[in-house]
């Protein structure tokens, strides 16, 4: 277990609350993937390495995919994972890294990495489900080769907004528009962290034109250094237990982890790397979605 990173500076002013957070919010802080995650799909293709310091998800034809999920539920927090994506010919593969509440009106935050032919760029698709409603896809190219090394993919999730980040650069913001516009926000349902790899060749690469080439299997995505900080709730027992714990947070701390968004860098991503934004897809949404 690593030390708890990034405690909000203002918390140090609030001594009792600071104790509350430093004891409960760092429970799942970085470390051993074998302790933090359980296999959800194809145990033989979820490989814990170095005693759980690293993990590989393997896609090969016999199982058609593999996946894992965190044992803990989280409500709010800074949640980071380092990933290295399938190298070489990854066309048709989808590697998904996401948070989900798994309920009928579920909340979900998605990073979906759409593979490509050797040398062609991956697409990173993000999506947000709130209270069961989604259809909020955005797609970007990355400014580096995500198969060459590990990079950090993060969600910072507070009462005010959710920011998706890549290596600390904001790529997307979903703000809390519940009071202002009646758009349900992700503030009630604890979520678990999931990842899976599967064959998405009906749609993933060039709109489904490029199929998976099983001659190039196994396709392997790698993970390390999962870190959670400043979470209002970390519970391994159940989502309900997490909600109950979060409900005990003093209202004076509703600004948990309040953050500044680097809008300059966000605009840099949007101008240079964005290839699709549901907010500007008028054929699909003749009426612009409220949160856009
Ligand atoms: C979430 O969806 C349920 C069922 O559709 C609805 O009853 C509830 O009012 C919704 N919540 C919000 C905050 O919109
Ligand atoms: C794959 O590469 C092609 C050609 O560069 C590009 O048009 C496409 O957006 C890339 N990504 C996916 C997922 O198809
Ligand atoms: C592990 O992740 C934390 C949080 O993102 C980061 O501060 C730290 O530098 C990472 N460690 C390594 C070895 O990359």
Ligand 1 and 103: CB distance under 6 A: no
Tokens coding 126: 């993000």
Query: What would the DSSP string read from start to end of the chain?
Result: --------GGGGGSHHHHHHHHHHTTTT-S--HHHHEEEEE-GGGEEEEGGGTEEEEEE-TTTSEEEEEESSEEESEEEEEEEEPPPS--TTEEEEEEEE--STT--EEEEEEE--STTSPPEEEEEEEBTTB----EEE--SS-TTTS-EEEEEEE-SSEEEEEETTEEEEEEE--HHHH----S-S--BEEEEEEEE-TTTSSGGGTSPP-GGGPPEEEEEEEEEEES-SEEESS-HHHHHHHHHTS-GGGTTTT-----HHHHHHHHHHTEEEEGGG-TTT-SSPPTT-
The pLDDT assigned to 257 comes to: 58
* Domain that residue 136 falls in: 17-280
- Which ligand 2 atom sits closest to the C-alpha of 210? 14
pLDDT band at 17 (very low <50, low <70, confident <90, very high): very low
The pLDDT assigned to 132 comes to: 97
Residue 187, domain member (yes or no): yes
What does pTM read for this prediction?
Answer: 0.90
Q: How far is the CA of 226 from the centre of ligand 3 (A)?
A: 8
pLDDT band at 29 (very low <50, low <70, confident <90, very high): low
Residue 35, domain member (yes or no): yes
Residue 12, domain member (yes or no): no
The predicted-structure confidence for 181-240, as pLDDT tens digits, reads as follows: 999 999 999 999 999 999 999 999 999 999 999 999 999 999 999 999 989 899 999 999
| Phi, psi of 47, deg, nearest 5 | -105, 110
Name which residue sits closest to atom 9 of ligand 2, judged by CA. Answer: 206
| Total domains in the fold of the chain | 1
Residue 6, domain member (yes or no): no
The predicted-structure confidence for 96-142, as pLDDT tens digits, reads as follows: 999 999 999 999 999 999 999 999 999 999 999 999 999 999 999 99
Residue 174, domain member (yes or no): yes
Would the pLDDT of 55 be above 70?
yes
Residue 289, domain member (yes or no): no
CA distance 290 to 292: 6
Ligand 2 and 205: CB distance under 6 A: yes
Pocket of ligand 3 (CB under 6 A): 5, 30, 80, 152, 225, 227
Residue 2, domain member (yes or no): no
The domain that holds 210 is classified in CATH as 2.60.120.200
Residue 195, domain member (yes or no): yes
Ligand 2 and 114: CB distance under 6 A: yes
**Residue written as tokens 């990495």?**
113
Name which residue sits closest to atom 13 of ligand 3, judged by CA. Answer: 225
Would the pLDDT of 12 be above 60?
no
CA distance 256 to 160: 9
């Amino acid at each position: 277990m690593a030390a708890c990173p990034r405690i909000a500076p203002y918390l140090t002013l609030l001594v009792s609350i600071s104790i509350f957070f430093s004891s409960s919010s760092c429970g799942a802080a970085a470390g051993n993937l074998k302790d933090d995650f359980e296999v959800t799909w194809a145990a033989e293709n979820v490989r814990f390495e170095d005693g759980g310091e690293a993990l590989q998800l393997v896609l090969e034809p016999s199982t058609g995919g593999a996946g894992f999920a965190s044992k803990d539920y989280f409500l709010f927090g800074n949640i980071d994972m380092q990933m290295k994506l399938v190298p070489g010919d990854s066309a048709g593969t989808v590697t998904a890294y996401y948070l989900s509440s798994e309920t009928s009106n579920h909340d979900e935050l998605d990073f979906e990495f759409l593979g490509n032919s050797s040398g062609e760029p991956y697409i990173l698709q993000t999506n947000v489900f709130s209270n069961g409603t989604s259809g909020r896809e955005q797609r970007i190219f990355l400014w580096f080769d995500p198969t060459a090394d590990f990079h950090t993919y993060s969600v910072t999730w507070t009462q005010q907004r959710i920011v998706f980040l890549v290596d600390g650069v904001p790529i997307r913001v979903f703000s809390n528009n519940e009071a202002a516009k009646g758009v349900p926000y992700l503030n009630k349902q604890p979520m678990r962290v999931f990842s899976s790899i599967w064959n998405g060749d009906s749609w993933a690469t060039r709109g489904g034109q490029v199929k998976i080439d099983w001659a190039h299997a196994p396709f392997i995505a790698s993970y390390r250094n999962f870190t959670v900080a400043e979470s209002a709730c970390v519970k391994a027992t159940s989502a309900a237990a997490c909600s109950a714990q979060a409900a005990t947070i003093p209202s004076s701390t509703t600004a948990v982890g309040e953050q500044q968004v680097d809008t300059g860098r966000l605009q840099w991503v949007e101008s240079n790397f964005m290839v699709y934004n549901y907010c500007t897809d008028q054929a699909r949404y003749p009426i612009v979605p409220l949160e856009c």
